[in-house]
Amino acid sequence: MTDSGHSTSGIFERFAPQVYAWAYRLLGRHHDALDVVQDVFIKWTTQCRKDEPQRPAGWLRRVTLNRAVDVARKRHEPVDLELVGPRLASSDASPDDGDLDTLRSDVSAALRLLPEMQRSVLVAKVYDELTFAEVAEELDISMSTAKTHYVRALGSLRDRLRNRWLEEHQS
Amino acid sequence: MNCERAKDLLADALGHELTGEDRAAFEEHLGSCDACRLEYASLTETLGVLRRLETVPPQASLPFGAPTAGLTSPRIRLFAGLARYAAVVALAFVAGFLSRGGVKSDTDIDRHRGPDAPIVGPHKNADLTTREALASAYRRNPHGNQLATLMMALHAGEKK
């Protein structure tokens, strides 16, 4: 995606819902996500007023995800999924709202533990539904690197979510 | 297809970007290789978990608009906050100064108001004293921070 020449208000109108969604996925709380939206666009205004990134979406995603990780860290939330409750998943489990909240919290924590680039690639691929070519261009990496980050990120998430949310696969 | 080649295609398969012959060969390999099938199945399931959270609760509308170019950076906001705080302090100085009539000594009382004049309450000479102190401070520091100058002037006025 290549964008340029947008005013701050244009960028805000276009990307604010997406920035909110990125932040919410990592934080799971409305007000924390709103704080991140505000911080990100203030940073955009102060840093990018003169020198606007060629790919605003890539810049915004990276800054948003990093900011969300910072916010979560300051909240001192537990991130060790092994310490959180019994296993809830079963093959026919259909999570109710409570389970969904717990799932959201666990996934958010697992996403925050990923290295920055793996997290950016995974969010771009899974939630923003970009192709590997688009992800590579936006993050300024090669396609093979994007693919490697994607598989590694999924592997890390699987290992962290396995005990609660994934079935045991037997050979 | 061997496991090494299947591993190369794993990202494309998980990202729904595997097509044609590669896809057919990958699926065939999974049918005959337990390790690769398990790897693919567990990562696909992980993706399924992530996609269950695809929908983010709508935020209705963001309770603020795009930041304006003015008071936006944290540093500027900090200075703005400090300036507001300093303004309150300065006003308190002014109020305190005026409530004491701007008169600091019996000599002043004698000179401007006479010995029997009440000390408490605003007095027209108080304004003069403040203005004179300000004018003097501005003469000394014409390009300085106005608020700081005001506070210095008032502080100096109190010491008179």
* Distance (Å, whole) CA B149 – CA B155: 10
Tell me the average pLDDT across B30-46: 91
Here the tokens at position A70 are 């910072």
- Of the residues A37, A57, A77, the one at which a domain ends: A77
| Residue B160 confidence class, pLDDT cut points 50, 70, 90 | very low
Q: Determine the structural domain holding residue A34 and report its residue range.
A: 1-77
Q: How many other C-beta atoms can be found within 10 angstroms of the C-beta atom of residue B78?
A: 10
Residues of B in contact with A87 (CB under 8 A): none
pLDDT score, position A118? 93
Contact status, residue B101 vs residue B119, Cβ threshold 8 Å: yes
What is the model's pTM? Answer: 0.60
List the 105-164 stretch of A: residues with Cβ below 8 A of B: 107, 122, 125-127, 131-132, 147-148, 150-151, 154-155, 157-158, 161-162
- Å between B3 CA and nearest CA of chain A: 15
A99 plus A73 within the same structural domain? no
User: CB of A16 within 8 Å of any CB in chain B?
Assistant: yes
B34 plus B91 within the same structural domain? no
B46 plus B109 within the same structural domain? no
Question: Of B18, B34, B36, B49, which to mutate for an interface test with A (greatest number of A Cβ within 10 Å)?
Answer: B49
- Å between B63 CA and nearest CA of chain A: 8
Mean pLDDT of chain B: 67
Task: Among B17, B49, B54, select the one facing A161 at the smallest CB separation.
Answer: B49
Q: Say yes or no to pLDDT of B99 above 70.
A: no
Q: Determine the structural domain holding residue B110 and report its residue range.
A: 85-159
Q: Say yes or no to pLDDT of B30 above 80.
A: yes
- Give the side-chain half-sphere CA count within 13 A for A63: 23
Residue B101 lies in a domain: yes
A108 plus A130 within the same structural domain? yes
pLDDT in tens, chain A (171 residues): 444 455 677 778 888 888 988 888 888 888 888 888 888 888 888 877 667 777 888 888 989 999 988 888 887 655 444 433 333 333 344 455 557 777 888 888 888 889 989 999 999 999 888 999 999 998 889 999 999 999 999 999 998 888 666 665 554
Which range, A48-52, A167-171, B52-56, B91-95, has the best average confidence (pLDDT)?
B91-95
ipTM, two decimals, is 0.72
pLDDT score, position A38? 87
Higher confidence at residue B129 or residue A45?
A: A45
Q: Does A171 sit within 8 Å of B35, measured CB to CB?
A: yes
Compare all CA atoms of chain B with the CA of A36 and give the residue at the minimum distance.
Answer: B62
- Of the residues A12, A43, A77, the one at which a domain ends: A77
A97 plus A162 within the same structural domain? yes
CATH number of domain containing A153? 1.10.10.10
A55 plus A96 within the same structural domain? no
Higher confidence at residue B139 or residue A34?
A: A34
A105 plus A155 within the same structural domain? yes
| Residue B145 confidence class, pLDDT cut points 50, 70, 90 | very low
Number of domains in chain A: 2
A163 plus A91 within the same structural domain? yes
pLDDT score, position A12? 81
A65 plus A133 within the same structural domain? no
Instruction: Give the SS3 label for residue A101.
Output: helix
A64 plus A109 within the same structural domain? no
SS3 of chain A: helix, strand, coil, percent, to 5: 70, 0, 30
Number of domains in chain B: 2
A92 plus A158 within the same structural domain? yes
Residue B95 lies in a domain: yes
- Of the residues A77, A101, A121, the one at which a domain ends: A77
Tell me the average pLDDT across B28-47: 91
List the 60-89 stretch of A: residues with Cβ below 8 A of B: none
Of B117, B65, B26, whose CA–CA distance to A37 is shortest? Answer: B65
B35 plus B96 within the same structural domain? no
Q: Say yes or no to pLDDT of B76 above 60.
A: no
Q: Does A34 sit within 8 Å of B62, measured CB to CB?
A: yes
* Distance (Å, whole) CA A38 – CA A63: 12
Task: Among A103, A147, A171, select the one facing B38 at the smallest CB separation.
Answer: A171
B91 plus B39 within the same structural domain? no
* Distance (Å, whole) CA B98 – CA B100: 5
| Residue B122 confidence class, pLDDT cut points 50, 70, 90 | very low
